[in-house]
Structure 1
Amino acid sequence: EAFDQAYGLAHDRTSDWGVELSLELWNAGLDDPAYHEHRVRIAREFLALFPDPEPDVILSLRRGEGESLWALGRRQEAEAVYAALVERLPDEGWAYIGWSDQYYLCNTPDRPEDYRRAEAILRRALHRPDLRDRGDVLDRLARLYREWHRPEEQAPVEACAHDEGKGKSGLKRLVTRLKGPSDVEPAPPPVRPQRNEPCWCASGKKYKHCHMQSDRKHERR
């Protein structure tokens, strides 16, 4: 607080620099993965020096950290970063978007798309009554259904996003139109998380404290 009062403008410029550097390191990491390591380090060091910046700075740097950890194959760490981010900023729509993107837009040959996991994360966001950027979350969910080849779910989400863009709330209509099998909790993925990894349902809990027991019962049926 004292730093902000004495050097408010410098603090703002430092925050802008940190965010811009994170973006540049992502671009560089497309050619050389070593830059992803630098991006993770910069995010952690910056937020250690400035632990309470504006929410958009936290969002940008933590999303960048999660993206780069994912690109480096350190997915358990990335999950922990995203889970902590949505816990700290539970109404920031782009926190959920960044997390869900990893499961179907950032897939690799050894890790195919996990549409169910991405869907669970975006739907978790839509349950927040004060969610910011709700229209962007809806657009992303519609895109997910389009790529998942589920037009029966894509159409009502697009209609809701259209209403949101006009300043209307189509969320109740969306919930009504999507009632049925798609609202049942999704089935567990073929490859289960490890005990201490985040649960596949996007609850933010460790697998052992969430769905591990019910998944085991399901396997024994």
Structure 2
Amino acid sequence: MQTSKPKLVVLSGAGMSAESGIATFRGADGLWEGHRVEEVASPEGFEANPELVLEFYNQRRRQIVEAQPNKGHLALARMESLFDVHVITQNVDDLHERAGSSRVMHLHGEIRKARSTQRADMVLDLPGTELNLGDVGPDGAQLRPHIVWFGEAVPLMDAAMDVVAAADVVIVVGTSLQVYPAAGLVGYVPLDAPIHVVDPHTPLEGGGRVELHRCGAVEGLTRLESRWRAEQG
């Protein structure tokens, strides 16, 4: 059954989760919690020191389990009463889902899942926060975080392009759109679809169909929700 609601596509990044207390992995020095990216977020790093990589993600997972969806996440979930909402996120946490969003696509994977090191399609929910050396899947192979590491293809990219290409309205929130291939998704937005950019530090300039909201995710998304509810009466 076709929905009659306009299609709202949300492209979310690290700034979306920052207001829930989830710090971005990479610091100002370019290191991830004191580690070079290649050490903890690449297939080569996992092969060289799997214990280090697994513990790195165990720490991130513990942090995410303790975090709660913020008012921006909740506003997006409520927007489903106004729009056919599709969230495409670069974040690996599950805060969109816990807030109530029903259609969420994780471009870079999901930290609360694991997958086989031998079969990329064998993905399992993690019951807790720990994934350790010796934990194996049904195929008997060591499990790894269900994360798209540097140097790996983004398997959901084509599906994300299709979703964006059918958008009536787009929100870009909490991302500088500097990380490819995800940054290229904006190029697939239909020419007649308005784009709302919610980011206090966006390098973009507004004008035309692009409206800038130079503020955090919570403030920007709650404002947009209120505005659209008023417009729809």
TM-score (normalised: structure 1): 0.31
Q: Which structure shows the bigger proportion of residues in helix conformation?
A: 1
**Highest relative contact order (Cα 8 Å, sep 6+), 1 or 2?**
2
Q: Which structure shows the bigger proportion of residues in strand conformation?
A: 2
